Structure 1
Amino acid sequence: MTDIHFVIEEAPEGGHVARAVGEDIFTEADDLPTLHAQLRDAVHCHFADAERPSLIHLHITREEVLQA
């Protein structure tokens, strides 16, 4: 595996939550720089050295509501 993808969403209570696509990895943080560090740590903990992806892709989503 050379890549892993995460979907990042804004948490209702503030901050961000991240869920891996196709792997059982979840983490959350108050801001994006902290989330980046936590994602790197989570990927390092989840995979053995030989299996660890070299790239982490973040798909950041945000919901906005407009009045008609």
Structure 2
Amino acid sequence: MRGRKNHIKVDQGPKLIGAYAVSDVATHDSQELEFLIEKDDTSQKLYADVAYFGQEEYIERCSMM
């Protein structure tokens, strides 16, 4: 396979990009989550598509809702 995918964390308020990752098209989206959210995101809401299901443990460690 050829191609790349963009993974972006956007702040809900000012709509600024907080984190950005690029992966090979063969990499599953859920593998990029740990590069996007950080401990600084504590208590923030996380909106993600179904590709991130199964990542609840990591999301809880960052205390995201």
Confirm or deny a common fold (TM above 0.5): no
Place the TM-score, normalised by the shorter chain, in its bin.
Answer: 0.3 to 0.5
Greater RCO, 1 or 2 (C-alpha within 8 Å, sep 6+): 1
Q: Using structure 2 for the length normalisation, give the TM-score.
A: 0.39
Whose strand fraction is larger, Structure 1's or Structure 2's?
1
Of structures 1 and 2, the larger Rg is shown by: 1
Whose helix fraction is larger, Structure 1's or Structure 2's?
2
Q: Using structure 1 for the length normalisation, give the TM-score.
A: 0.38
